[in-house]
Amino acid sequence: MRADAQRNVDALIKAARAVFDTSGVDAPAKEIADLAGVGVGTLYRHFPLRSDLVKAVVESGIDACAAAGPRLGAVHEPGEALAEWLRQYTEFLGTERGLAAIANLCMPVPGEGPEYNRRMVALLIDGLRVPSGSSR
């Protein structure tokens, strides 16, 4: 994907998260596109179905939680890293109320949503592990 297209996708996901939080998943596409600074056509080019956008919003939140693991594990003791990660994860769950259930309904393959979550949590756990021989 070209850099400008990726910026548009990122902006649309960020805008959709904000709009979904305030107006729900049925908010007008124009509201999302306007907040992202793109046209409605750009939104539909990247996310032809509303379910595609909902899925992308949920997955980006899961990805951010999984990516936090290695970062937190590198700067905190394991217990502190896990506690901070759990705080971030519960914050994510609180802001994504209802979206996860909708996203699981949108997955093209039954069970793909839960499997995606398991893969991301496995990456997180790997990031929080203390390397053997470490002083932590």
Q: What is the 3-state secondary structure (H, E, C) of the chain?
A: CCHHHHHHHHHHHHHHHHHHHHHCCCCCHHHHHHHHCCCHHHHHHHCCCHHHHHHHHHHHHHHHHHHHHHHHHHHCCHHHHHHHHHHHHHHHHHHCCCHHHHHHHHCCCCCHHHHHHHHHHHHHHHHHCCCCCCCC
User: Which residue range forms the structural domain that includes residue 31?
Assistant: 1-48
75 in the same domain as 130: yes
- Count how many domains the chain has: 2
Instruction: Report pLDDT digits (tens) over 88-114.
Output: 888 777 766 556 555 555 555 545 555
- pTM for this structure? 0.67
Q: What is the CATH number of the domain that holds 28?
A: 1.10.10.60
32 in the same domain as 81: no
106 in the same domain as 69: yes
The whole-number pLDDT of residue 97 equals 56
87 in the same domain as 130: yes
The more confidently predicted of residues 47 and 22 is 47
